[in-house]
Amino acid sequence: MTATPAAAPRFEMRGIRKAFGATIALDGVDLSVAEGEICGLIGQNGAGKSTLMSILSGALQPDAGQIAIDGHPFVPESPHDARRAGIAMIYQELSLAPHMTVMENIMMGAEPMRFGLVDWPCMRDMAARALGELGHDDIPPDAIVGSLSVAAQQLVEIARALAVGCRVLVLDEPTSSLGRADVEHLFALLRHLKTQGHAIVYISHFIEEVKSVADRFIVLRDGRNAGGGTTKDATHDHIVALMVGRSVGDLFPRTQRTRGEAILEVTALEPGSATFTLHRGEIFGIAGVLGSGRTRLLRTLFGLEPVRSGRVRVGVYSGAARPHERWGQGMGLLSEDRKEEGLASALDIADNLTMSKLSPFGPAGLLSPSRQRAAASRWISELEIKCAGPAQKTEELSGGNQQKIAIGRLLHHDVDILVLDEPTRGIDVGSKAQIYRLIDALVADAPGRKPRAVLMVSSYLPELLGLCDRIAVMQRGRLGEAIPAASLSEHELMMAATGGAPGA
Amino acid sequence: MTTRSLVERTGTFFGLVLVAMIFGALVGPQFFAPTNLELMARQMAIVSIAAVGMTIVIVAGGIDLSVGSMIALCTVVIAQLLRMDASPFLAALAAIATAALCGLINGVLITQLRVVPFIVTLGTMLVIRGAAKGLAEERRIEAPATWLNDLLRVTRGETLLPSGIWAVITLAVLVAAMLRYTRFGRHVFAIGSNERMARLCGVAITRTKVIVYALSAAFVGFAGLLQFSKLSVGDPTVSVGLELDVIAAVIIGGGSLSGGRGTVAGTLIGAAIMTIIQVGCSQKGLANWVQQIVTGCIIVAAVALDRIRSAHGTGT
């Protein structure tokens, strides 16, 4: 359980605290990494990894705690400060200018100048040297970055960090879009950089990767240090136990459910390699880490992305369909991306709630705003949405209330199959509990209405275990077999989702 | 109506009152004389009706730069048909249909080629201008005088305003109602506000966009008819750059080039503000360059004020 390295730390974070409103994201977290060391940072989604790294990189300011670099106090006020202090972040989403050349990207902001003009030969030399140091002189400095593979682009990004003298590298899920061979190359490079004295923080969902590349690991759970140690002494099992750490609470109601007829049948669907059946009166969960292809599977089912092969049957309808046909067949999708896709933030609540089905509000293409608002008002009171009224714009509401509007759209449309992608992402605990009750009520036995069916994706495992009847794990683009949730523990589910061996 | 939208609406209206008062003070009370007001109404009719159409396009998150060229083509079409002894009514209808067809082509190109509206309509702006010049053989086309020339004139038997202006008012009311009281109107807002959300909700995006461009162009066709009425000849070189005035009217009126925002009432107020500046400056004897500087400042100020206001609104 060592939170400190053996050698003198290159950087050290002590007692870092950060709250966003009422939510405490970090509560006294320690992290330090020595020169010539790779430290794995592990934790479930929402454990505080990215908040911690945002603080190190100056994008966020901590409420309490100290940071020191080489023993000197360091208070970054912007990413630029951190960069000057030698801290480089390599995110999943690379921050390169795709239309510019490799050398321009590497030397960006530090272009060699001569008589006030860019010294191109010198720039080419410097870029080539930076790439050579990485053992990748196969990447031509004149190539356009957008034409390179993702792996090569990642190298360019690392080369840029090193060219401006960064000594601390933070890599956030660097392998999520790499093939096996590229992952090995990246690991070899990281080990090489380690011998040069760089301090590296490696963030990953894949425990095996961390065990393979890192010397030490730190686990965060609910914004605190949950433990850590040297990777060679820790088993996969032990690390998962630290990540999970607690049992499923009573947050999840479960009223009497009766499994009814099969309402959605998916056979060998590509992308996703998915085969499963969803019944009325059932919640079917899909577990999997970010980038495992779970969102893509849901979008393909709903017709937002093309079906490559396989069969889908929704009720009595067979075959692929476009979104408006899916709505007509009684299927609705809740997008994982509330801001970019789920809601139109500049429109009012009534429009957002009812957009998929405006036909009840008037004959022949006409629409009575008062009837639309009346319908919206009913959902506002039913779902306890806190707002000024149906004419308020959704951008003014809290995340939890926005999410209730997005779910309310499926209820307004009165669909039989609710496809929910991360139904509680980024919302407060109160709204979460409410949404859990709502989802449970949808599939519960009720007089006068057939129970509905719910297909949901979540990266929050307790939620899946607490709500679902059956769960299947999605890993690296393939959906596994459905297992009754009652026979699963969070530990087992995490083991499966984080993958014994990558690609297995 | 929330207090916020009340502020949004009265904001533009307040601007109109302010500009009117400034020029009222500069020019004198005769600025508000009925004849002067009517003059201004005639001045703004062409931009207004095209801007009403442009409001639909901008609310849907698009833009149409081919407006000025369409107007020129319409005047030529009318003149040519009148020379061939077509009935004035038929000539007017043909002009509107021609413009609608141009808009339909814009819409199809935008949705099928997936090229942004700015580029597509930049191209068709040149194409349509060229077509107008070709059809007119690069000359002004004289046409026999008909009642079409009287659309912006008060003739005997009419009250208060010329028939063309009544038509503009009627069409503006219809479009305002369409945006608010039809499913199509709400779909236009949804597409402009968040196209991905509209797609998720099953809105027929391609069809709606094509209709938006065709419908908006039909209003431009009507603007072409009024332009012909004003000129009484077919002129392929008329209305160069008019699209910028049209877009400016929508933007001053609270429309957003990123889509999802805009009202017909705001657009008309925007057109009125620009007209007051033009007429006021010329009646005050100020040169054209002064007008242009003032109008330019107003456009930037209107949008900047709007930003400040909406930033304030979301901050609470």
One domain for residues A351 and A432: yes
CA A398 to chain CA mean position, Å: 20
Q: Is A453 inside any structural domain?
A: yes
Q: What angle do CA A334, A336, A338 make, to 5 degrees?
A: 85
Residues of B whose CB is below 8 A from A322: 202
Are both A366 and A463 inside the same structural domain?
yes
B219 and chain A in contact, CB less than 8 A: no
A376 & A427 share domain: yes
Contacts of B7 in chain A (CB under 8 A): none
Residue A307 has pLDDT above 60, yes or no: yes
Q: Does A364 touch chain B (CB under 8 A)?
A: no
The pLDDT of residue A264? 95
Query: According to the model, what pLDDT value does residue A248 have?
Result: 43
* A380 located within any domain: yes
CA distance A470 to chain B (A): 27
**What's the CA gap between B60 and B237, in Å, rounded?**
29
**Same domain (yes/no): A330, A453:** yes
A327 — contact with chain B (CB < 8 Å)? yes
A365/B203 CB distance under 8 A: no
Examine residue B23 and state whether it is found in any structural domain, yes or no: no
What's the mean pLDDT in A28-51?
Answer: 88
Calpha distance B44→B248 (Å, rounded): 13
pLDDT in tens, A352-364: 999 999 999 989 8
B9: number of Cβ within 10 Å: 17
Question: With 80 as the cut, is the pLDDT of residue A403 above it?
Answer: yes
Contact A355 B186 (CB under 8 A): yes
A305 Cβ under 8 Å from any chain B Cβ: no
Give the distance from CA A207 to its chain's centroid: 16
Ranges of H-type helices in A420-489: 429-443, 461-467
CA distance A111 to A104: 8
**Closest partner residue to A365 among B182, B189, B197, by Cβ?**
B182
Instruction: Give the domain range for residue B59.
Output: 30-310
Closest CA in chain A for residue B194:
A344
Mean pLDDT along residues A238-258: 74
Residues A222 and A289 in one domain: no
Residue in this structure with the two tokens 């109602």, named with its chain if needed? B177
pLDDT, tens digit, for every residue of A327-345?
A: 999 999 999 988 889 999 8
Question: Binning pLDDT at 50, 70 and 90, where does residue A503 land?
Answer: very low
Whether A352 and A207 share a structural domain: no
How far apart are alpha carbons A318 and A297 in whole angstroms?
17
Q: CB distance A395–B182 less than 8 Å? A: no
- The answer to whether A316 and A498 are in contact (CB under 8 A) is no
CA-to-CA distance for B284 and B27, rounded, in angstroms? 6
What is the layout of strands, in order, in the sheet containing A216-221? A87-90, A168-172, A199-203, A37-42, A216-221, A224-230
Confidence of residue A164 (pLDDT cuts 50, 70, 90): confident
Q: What is the mean pLDDT of chain B?
A: 89
Query: How far apart are the C-alpha atoms of A228 and A32, rounded to whole Å?
Result: 12
Asked if B203's CB is within 8 angstroms of A324's CB, the reply is: yes
What CATH number should be reported for the domain holding residue A68? 3.40.50.300
Residue A251 lies in a domain: no
* Integer Cα distance of A199 and A196 in angstroms: 9
Task: Please say whether the beta carbons of B59 and B213 come within 8 A.
Answer: no
Asked which of A244, A272, A302 is the last residue of a domain, the reply is: A244
Instruction: Please name the residues between 3 and 32 in chain B that touch chain A, using a CB distance below 8 Å.
Output: 4-5
Report whether pLDDT(A208) > 80: yes
Strand partners, A39: A201, A216
Are A31 and A41 within 8 A, CB to CB? yes
User: Which residues in chain B have their CB less than 8 angstroms from residue A392's CB?
Assistant: 2
Verify that A226 and A271 share a domain, yes or no. Answer: no
Residue with tokens 């840029």: A160
Residues A168 and A267 in one domain: no
A112-154 tens-digit pLDDT: 888 888 888 998 998 898 888 888 888 898 999 988 888 888 8
The domain total for chain A is 2
User: Chain A closest CA to B191's CA: distance in Å?
Assistant: 9
Under an 8 A CB cutoff, do B183 and A359 touch?
A: yes
Tokens for B77, please give them: 């079409």
Nearest C-alpha of chain B: how many angstroms from A391? 7
Residue ranges of E strands in B25-154: 141-142
| Domain presence at residue B293 | yes
Task: Verify that A21 and A100 share a domain, yes or no.
Answer: yes
Looking up residue B142, the CATH number of its domain turns out to be 1.10.3470
Of all residues in chain A, the percent with pLDDT exceeding 70 is 95
User: Which residues, given as ranges, of chain B have pLDDT below 70?
Assistant: 1-10, 155-159, 309-316
The length of chain A, given as a count of residues: 504
pLDDT band at A304 (very low <50, low <70, confident <90, very high): very high
Q: Does A323 touch chain B (CB under 8 A)?
A: yes
Closest CA to A315 of A450, A479, A457, A472: A450
Asked whether residue A257 is assigned to any structural domain, the reply reads no
Q: Does A356 touch chain B (CB under 8 A)?
A: yes
* Cis peptide preceding A73, ω within 30 of 0: no
Chain A residues with CB under 8 Å of B197 CB are 335, 341-344, 352, 355
d(C-alpha B115, C-alpha B104), whole Å: 15
Closest CA–CA distance from residue B6 to any residue of chain A (Å): 12
**What's the rounded Cα separation, in Å, for the pair B47 and B12?**
18
Q: Across the interface, do B186 and A358 touch by the CB < 8 Å criterion? A: yes
> Which of A209, A244, A279 is at the close of a domain?
A244
**Per this entry, what is the length of chain B?**
316
Predicted local confidence at residue B314, as pLDDT: 41
Kind of pairing between the strands at A168-172 and A117-118: unpaired
Provide the number of structural domains found in chain B: 1
Give the pLDDT of residue A154.
Answer: 87
The Cα of B4 is separated from the nearest Cα of chain A by a number of Å equal to 9
DSSP codes joined into one string, A401-431: HHHHHHHHHHHHHT-SEEEEESTTTT--HHH
* B190 part of contact set with chain A, CB < 8 Å: yes
Residue A100: DSSP 8-state: S
Q: What is the DSSP string of A11-30?
A: EEEEEEEEEETTEEEEEEEE
Residue A235: burial class (beta carbons within 10 Å; 0-12, 13-18, 19+): exposed
> A201: helix, coil or strand?
strand
Looking at the fold, whether A204 and A353 belong to one and the same domain comes out as no
Residue B14 lies in a domain: no
Nearest CA in chain A to B313: A396
CA distances to A459, B131, B219, B253, B261 from B102, in Å: 50, 11, 12, 26, 25
Q: Which residues, in sequence order, are CB contacts of A42 under 8 Å at separation 6+?
A: A49, A203, A204, A207, A210, A217, A218, A219, A220, A239, A242, A243
Its domain, for residue A61, covers 9-244
In a shared domain, residues A316 and A238 = no
Distances (CA, A) of B275 to B15, B37, B71, B151: 13, 11, 19, 19
For residue A344, the distance in angstroms to the closest alpha carbon of chain B comes to: 5
- pTM (two decimals): 0.79
In a domain, A252, yes or no: no
Q: Which of B185, B190, B261 sits opposite A355 (nearest CB)?
A: B190
Chain A positions in Cβ-Cβ contact with residue B312 (cut-off 8 Å)? none
Among the listed residues A238, A236, A229, the one whose alpha carbon sits nearest the alpha carbon of residue A5: A229
Mean pLDDT of the region A47-52: 85
A242 and A234 Cβ atoms separated by less than 8 Å = no
**B202 → closest Cβ in A327, A335, A361:** A327
Q: Domain check: are A322 and A366 in the same one?
A: yes
User: Is A15 part of any domain?
Assistant: yes
Interface of A with B in 372-431 (CB under 8 A): 388-389, 391-393, 395-396, 409
Asked if the model's pLDDT at residue A246 lies above 80, the reply is no
**Nearest-5° Cα angle at A75, A69 to A81:** 85
Q: Is residue B1 part of a domain?
A: no
Percent of chain A with pLDDT over 90: 40
